Amino acid sequence: MTTWIALFRGINVGGHRRLPMKELKAELENLGLTDVRTYIQCGNVLFRSAESDAAALSETIASAVEKSHGFRSEVLVLDLAEFRPR
């Protein structure tokens, strides 16, 4: 299992494209992601997955949010090694 970080763009800004973190956490758990943890209301999420393709995870997450909340957000998915500063 790989630990991933998902960074959502343009959600919960100025009352637009609202995506409560409790709903986002549940949505990601429904996708089979584990140890899902959100950070404040900005849409940063830490989770674990057996999936090894960041692009596939990004598409899966963005599509699920679009289906459940009616808008599509860009989702950047990075593993911990990519996210940590060098």
Per-residue pLDDT of the chain (86 residues; tens, 9 = 90+): 999 999 887 666 566 677 788 888 999 999 999 999 988 767 789 999 999 999 999 999 999 989 988 888 889 999 988 777 76
* Residues 79, 1 contacting (CB under 8 angstroms): no
Which uninterrupted H or E stretch holds 49? strand 44-49
pLDDT value for 86: 65
pLDDT value for 59: 96
Q: What is the pTM of this model?
A: 0.85
Rounded CA-CA distance 76/7 in Å is 5
DSSP letter (8 states) at residue 16: B
* Residues 24, 43 contacting (CB under 8 angstroms): yes
Locate 69 and state its tokens.
């909340």
As its CATH architecture, domain 2-83 has 2-Layer Sandwich (3.30)
Domain ranges of the chain: 2-83
